[in-house]
Amino acid sequence: MIKIPAKVLIVDDEKDFVEMFSLRLGEQGEKVSIAYSGRQALDILDKMAIDVVILDIRMPGMDGIETLKQIKSRFPIVEVILLTGHGSTETAVEGMKLGAFDYLMKPADFQDIKIKLENARKRKDEQEERIRKAEARLLLRRSGDI
């Protein structure tokens, strides 16, 4: 089976982490974009289709929770995986209540990241398929075929 690469956006203010993480995901065949702030992430989402955002919760300026709210408001089908450090698990749970797919504790095991990324991508694909089917039914109803 041919693997279609996920379009992943990594958002974190730690440049070394972002660069290393994007290299690892790229080696796995994913199409990776990077942003170092919430505002930059939203600009990228305005310009390109992204499947999954991996988003750090703690960033200067617009933090991860505010960025998550903006993403879910403007791009509701995009899945978001939150990255959190020790001691901010409560914030990650809050993020899941706001629509995040899941969260990972830093430093995250790369295998865990891959599994959550695959599951988030699968959920996004399934949601898009349900939307396509609903739109097709709507068109059929409008044309009088149902």
Q: What's the fold here for domain 7-143? A: Rossmann fold (3.40.50)
pLDDT given at position 106: 82
Tell me if 56 sits within 8 A of 13, measured CB to CB. yes
63 alpha-carbon distance from chain centroid: 15
Q: Is 115 helix (H, G, I), strand (E, B) or coil?
A: helix
pLDDT tens, the chain, 146 aa long = 567 889 999 999 999 989 999 999 999 899 999 999 999 999 999 999 999 999 999 999 999 999 999 999 999 999 999 998 766 778 888 898 999 999 998 888 888 888 999 999 999 999 999 999 998 888 888 877 65
Domain boundaries in the chain? 7-143
pLDDT given at position 86: 62
